[in-house]
Structures are given as C-alpha cells and as structure tokens.
Amino acid sequence: MYNAANWYGLAGVGLTIAAFAILNRMRGSRIYDLTSSTTVGRLAACLGMAMCTAVLNSTMHQVPVFLWSLASLMLADIFAWDNYWSAAVGNPTDIMKPAFAPVDWVMAKLPAMPLRLWGTVAMGLRMSLFGAYVAGLAVITDHPANAFYGLFTLLFGVPYLVSGYLWKQNPVASSEYLVGGLLGTLTALVCQ
C-alpha cells in the first residue's frame, strides 16, 4: 500500500517526465516560436530541467544537482545535430555536411546504410552527450550504480525514426516531446 510519501514520489516522477517533455519541445521550438533565438530557448529549457531535477532531489544535494544539471544539459545542447535528425525523420539531407565532428568521424567509418538508419545512428551518438548528465547526476545524488542509465541516451535517435514514419506533418515536434520525456524518465530513475 502506498503512503503519502510514495504518492508524492510518484507524482514527482510523473511531473518530471511531463516537464522534461514540454521543456525539450520548448527548446526545439525556440520557446514555441516566442523568440527567434535558439540560445534563449536552450537556456530557458536547461534552466527549467535543472530546476526540476533539483526539486526531484529533496536532499542536501540540491545546489550541486542544479549546477551539474544546468552545466551538463547546456553542454549537451551546444553542438549541432540538424542533418542527423533530418535524415532520421526521412528528409533529404546532405549527410556529408559537418555537424558534430566526433559523430561525423564515427559515421564516416561505418559502412554505407539507408538514410533513415544513418540518421538514427548519428542522432543516437550525438544525443549520447546527455549520458554525461545522467551519469554525473547518479554520482552527485549518491546513486553511482545508476550511472549506467546514461547508456540509454544512445537510443535517443529512435524517436526521430519512429516519428518520421508516424507523424509526417511535424515529426520533429513529436520527437522532441518523446526525447524530453525519456530524458525525464532517466532523470527520475537515476535519482531513486
């Protein structure tokens, strides 16, 4: 049977997942087209995610959790990924156009593959930058055994592939909601 603390915990997890989904779309849409600046959208979304993460951790670690979350989420958001998601959703793109050098290097070493698969793999590699956020969060919150959850960020290209097939009108919006929700889920799992 659940007591009040468990319900609060479950509500906190659910709110974290929903907030991350909304904030990640806010980032991708430049605060739902309220600004023309991607930088402002990124900063607002990362601040919101860092605050959610700190609130989820009702421990003495809230300040370090907030600072780590803000710094690592901002770092993960800096580097380009446009041609990766574009390929994953099925839009014609120049896959030779440089985006993020380490991912470009790995993708150049892999055998030729269909465009959508190429985009999904490249997007997963690019999104693995969020793995540092997840792993670091596990260490800061005294749950180092949960650091392995960071590996799941390698699968963050899959929502783009699926959305490209299911939502032809705007596959990126649905992908951003899904990836945000997945990142919120990993955040909640790491902190438990």
Q: What is the pLDDT of residues 14-44, one digit of tens each?
A: 899 999 999 999 998 889 889 888 889 999 9
CA 155 to chain centre: 10
Q: Which helix (H) or strand (E) holds 182?
A: helix 171-190
Contact 129, 123 (CB under 8 A): no
Structural domain including 21 reads: 4-190
Contact 174, 163 (CB under 8 A): yes
Round to whole Å and give the CA distance between 74 and 70: 6
- Tokens representing 189 are 């799992």
Contact 181, 13 (CB under 8 A): no
Number of structural domains found in the chain: 1
Round to whole Å and give the CA distance between 46 and 51: 8
Tell me: pLDDT of 7 over 80.
no
Q: Which of 50-64, 71-85, 113-127 has the lowest mean pLDDT?
A: 50-64
| pLDDT for the residue numbered 8 | 54
Is residue 132 classed exposed, middle or buried when 0-12, 13-18 and 19+ CB atoms within 10 A define those classes? middle
Round to whole Å and give the CA distance between 99 and 18: 29
Contact 56, 12 (CB under 8 A): yes
More confident residue, 159 or 78: 159
- Tokens representing 192 are 């438990």
| Residues with Cβ within 8 Å of residue 62, at least 6 apart in sequence | 54, 55
> For residue range 63-108, what is the model confidence (pLDDT) as tens digits?
999 999 999 999 999 888 889 999 999 988 777 888 999 999 999 9
pTM of the model: 0.92
CA angle (162 as vertex; 83, 89 as ends), nearest 5: 25
